[in-house]
């Protein structure tokens, strides 16, 4: 009869894997804590590299939100032909108000156009010396907010072809130029992010390269004992992740400081123009992306550096 045996006290493969990674996880953190000066300097440099493209992206997103709100105040003016009488002009304004893509319309008679000209242009005296009122009747059309610039432009071109309309004028050209500038800044942000991401790889790689050289004898001993490269590489990979994580936190801190400095004057400027606009901070997704991006860049930089240098360290 076979003798019953108790449970095997040795941990299973998964438990050993978990224990080893937990040990290296805290060991790599301890190495950074024991060198606070270099760790802090590297984290600050990485944080600046991550914060610059993040702040540019945040600026573009806030301006895009601002231009979206401005689109709700866009108007187009339809200057009517002289032969269109007031009754037909008012009727046309009511018809246009029912069109798709139109939020509201307002009919201004020739007399009302002259009155607005006197009030806002500063050249009202010029009208008084003329024998007749040269200003035409106008229908002011307010497009629905949220429409793209191309849709609004197409609406203006369609309304400008109406037989009663002499000229259709839109006030969105400055907004189109601003949107073009924002598109350039958005692409510039991607380019800056790529360049500074490469800089983070170099920063992490250089930091770990110095650590590898300082532990050269230890690495040679481990290779003599038969340790695989994956075992030797592991603490450096965790070290790179820690540096990237710390750099991500520094980047978030820099963004928060920047928002704290810029938000009060931005609120004051918006109040002068009767707007409730305020600078939005990074969303939860953006915060997670900054931190995750720092960790990923740290891991890639560590893998690239350690893989290059481990092959050059061999026992004699």
C-alpha 48/C-alpha 296 separation (Å) is: 16
Mean pLDDT (whole number) for 37-62: 90
Cβ–Cβ under 8 Å, residues 243 and 32: yes
The confidence score (pLDDT) of residue 250 equals 95
Decide yes or no: CATH 3.40.50.1950 for domain 75-171.
Answer: no
- pLDDT tens across 252-271, in order? 999 999 999 988 888 887 77
- pLDDT tens across 197-217, in order? 899 998 888 888 888 888 888
The domain ranges of the chain are: 17-69+177-310, 75-171
Number of alpha helices (DSSP H) and beta strands (DSSP E) in the chain: 10, 4
Return the minimum-mean-pLDDT range out of 52-56, 168-172, 248-252, 254-258. 168-172
Mean pLDDT (whole number) for 128-155: 76
The HSE-up count of residue 224 (CA atoms within 13 Å, CB side) is: 8
């Amino acid at each position: 009869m076979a003798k019953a045996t108790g449970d095997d006290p040795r941990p299973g493969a998964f438990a050993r894997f978990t224990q080893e990674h937990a040990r290296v996880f805290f060991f790599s953190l301890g190495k950074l804590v024991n060198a606070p000066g270099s760790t802090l300097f590297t984290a600050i440099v990485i944080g600046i590299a991550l914060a610059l493209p993040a702040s540019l992206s945040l600026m573009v997103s806030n301006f895009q939100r601002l231009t979206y709100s401005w689109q709700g105040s866009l108007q187009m003016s339809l200057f009517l032909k002289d032969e269109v009488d007031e009754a037909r002009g008012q009727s046309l304004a009511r018809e246009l108000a029912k069109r798709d893509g139109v939020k509201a319309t307002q009919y201004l008679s020739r007399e009302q156009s002259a009155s607005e000209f006197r009030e806002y242009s500063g050249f009202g005296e010029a009208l008084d010396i003329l024998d007749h009122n040269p200003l035409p009747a106008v229908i002011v059309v307010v497009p629905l907010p949220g429409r793209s610039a191309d849709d609004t432009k197409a609406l203006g071109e369609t309304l400008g072809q109406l037989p009663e309309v002499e000229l259709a004028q839109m006030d969105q050209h400055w907004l189109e130029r601003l949107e073009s500038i924002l598109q350039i800044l958005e692409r510039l942000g991607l380019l800056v992010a790529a360049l500074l991401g490469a800089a983070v790889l170099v920063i992490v790689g250089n930091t770990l390269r110095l650590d590898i050289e300082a532990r050269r004898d230890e690495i040679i001993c481990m290779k003599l004992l038969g340790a695989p490269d994956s075992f030797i590489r592991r603490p450096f990979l965790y070290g790179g992740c820690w540096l990237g994580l710390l750099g991500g936190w520094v980047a978030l801190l820099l963004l928060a400081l920047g928002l704290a400095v810029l938000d009060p004057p931005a609120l004051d400027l918006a109040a002068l123009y009767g707007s409730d606009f305020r600078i939005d901070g990074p969303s939860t997704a953006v915060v997670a992306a900054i931190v995750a991006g720092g960790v990923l860049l740290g891991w890639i930089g560590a893998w690239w550096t350690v893989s290059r240098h481990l092959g050059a360290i061999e026992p004699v």
